[in-house]
Amino acid sequence: MLTTFQTELAKHWSEADKRARVLAMEPMAEHTTFRVGGPADLFFEPENVSDLADILAVARTVNFPVTILGNGSNVVVADLGIRGLVISLGDAFSDITRAGNLLIAKAGAKLSRIAAVAALEGLGGLAFASGIPGTVGGAVMMNAGAYDRCMAEVVCESRFLDNDLIEAIVTGEAHHFDYRTSCYKGTARIITETTFRLKPQAQTEIYAEMADLAARRRTSQPLEFPSAGSAFKRPAGYYAGKLIADSGMKGYRIGGAEVSEKHAGFIINRGLATASDVALLFYRVREAVKAQFGVQLEPEVRFIGDWDGWQEAEVIPWRF
């Protein structure tokens, strides 16, 4: 299938373009905050929406699998890597513009940058996002949130590539935002741009809020180690971190993966973890909490790529 895709691509692109722009066997550990995972067969960073649509059209004609990545801060990529084409919306998709109280950001823009721009412009509402290390696309998809605030409160419109590879728009409630989910989850839609509705606020207030939240994160989260943030979603009526700590799993290690001593809700990479170490540790933690408290933890992190051989063991029943 890889060869078929490359042959098809060669009909549209010169050999030089193909070699320069579509990287083969690109290590995904370098594109994810967990720093685990094998290579993607092919890796591509589009320069604009039409560039993105062009390569998607080629992939479609030969049924070549496509995976979208933002900053890779909410994923665990399998040790076997990712089959097919990984498309990363990077620097070329990072423009941010202001129109009145709206900020319009391309999907590859980092949340920390949008929060900084909003603060500079005296627009409040995005301080909560300043410490979330994701892109706009990943954050809208996941309805990322922190400290009782989330994307749902500030996103008023988003653009995505529809089935015909034409940009379409979702507005307001049609986003169906809920806890760590949106209308984009489980679909092949690719978010290209998002509009945030903000409120004028004094710069000093916004900076103070950002500093306070950053300090809270530094004190409570193991930011010094690679991870994908909170490992599990918050189960109704509980805190995942407390359940994990109470089940005695704090500090538990498999290979290079560890349940953080600082915050049991985080699974971290001590340096030489494999994706398999991470997946097994997720499984053990889940089993321990289920056995002791009868609560079924659901991962917040997404397991992507080639996990073949794992399904049978039901270690990753929740992979995507």
Which amino acids are annotated catalytic?
180, 230, 300
**Total interface residues for ligand FAD by CB under 6 A:** 31
Judged by beta carbon, residue 204 or residue 213, the one nearer ligand FAD is: 213
The count of other CB atoms within 10 Å of the CB of residue 236 is 7
Q: Please, what is the minimum distance in Å from the beta carbon of residue 315 to ligand FAD? A: 19
Q: Please, what is the minimum distance in Å from the beta carbon of residue 295 to ligand FAD? A: 20
**Position among 39, 84, 137, 241 found at the interface with ligand FAD (CB under 6 A):** 137
Burial class (CB in 10 A: 0-12, 13-18, 19+), 286: buried
How far apart (Å, rounded) are the C-alpha atoms in residues 166 and 161? 5
Q: Based on C-alpha coordinates, what's the Rg of the chain?
A: 20
**Position among 39, 46, 124, 138 found at the interface with ligand FAD (CB under 6 A):** 138
Contacting range for ligand FAD; rule: CB under 6 A; set: 73-81, 201-209, 239-247, 251-259: 73-81
Judged by beta carbon, residue 262 or residue 290, the one nearer ligand FAD is: 262
**Residue 33 within binding range of ligand FAD, rule CB under 6 A:** yes
- Beta bridge partners, 123, equal 200
Judged by beta carbon, residue 122 or residue 214, the one nearer ligand FAD is: 214
**Position among 89, 105, 249, 297 found at the interface with ligand FAD (CB under 6 A):** 89
Q: Please, what is the minimum distance in Å from the beta carbon of residue 2 to ligand FAD? A: 20
Taken as a whole, the chain contains a residue count of 320
**Residue 184 within binding range of ligand FAD, rule CB under 6 A:** yes
Structure-token match 């490992």, residue found = 231
How far apart (Å, rounded) are the C-alpha atoms in residues 318 and 36? 18
SS3 string of 119-140? HHCCEECCHHHHHCCCEHHHHH
Q: Which of residues 36-55 bind ligand FAD (CB under 6 A)?
A: none
Q: Which of 253, 237, 318 is nearest to 285 (CA)?
A: 253
How far apart (Å, rounded) are the C-alpha atoms in residues 245 and 283? 15
How far apart (Å, rounded) are the C-alpha atoms in residues 73 and 67? 15
**Residue 278 within binding range of ligand FAD, rule CB under 6 A:** no
**Residue 302 within binding range of ligand FAD, rule CB under 6 A:** yes
**Position among 42, 55, 103, 132 found at the interface with ligand FAD (CB under 6 A):** 132
**Residue 71 within binding range of ligand FAD, rule CB under 6 A:** yes
Judged by beta carbon, residue 29 or residue 89, the one nearer ligand FAD is: 89
How far apart (Å, rounded) are the C-alpha atoms in residues 199 and 203? 12
Q: How large is the angle between the packed helices 2-12 and 49-61, nearest 10 degrees?
A: 130
**Position among 85, 118, 123, 144 found at the interface with ligand FAD (CB under 6 A):** 144
Q: Please, what is the minimum distance in Å from the beta carbon of residue 19 to ligand FAD? A: 25
CA 9, distance to chain mean position in Å, is 28
Contacting range for ligand FAD; rule: CB under 6 A; set: 14-22, 63-71, 169-177, 196-204: 63-71
Report DSSP letters for 26-90, one per residue.
Answer: EEGGGGSTT----EEEEEE--SSHHHHHHHHHHHHHTT--EEEESSS-SEEE-TT-EEEEEEE--
Q: Please, what is the minimum distance in Å from the beta carbon of residue 81 to ligand FAD? A: 15
Q: Please, what is the minimum distance in Å from the beta carbon of residue 107 to ligand FAD? A: 4
Where do contacts with ligand FAD occur on this chain (CB under 6 A)?
Answer: 33, 68-75, 89, 107, 132-135, 137-139, 141-142, 144-146, 184, 190-191, 223, 227-229, 302
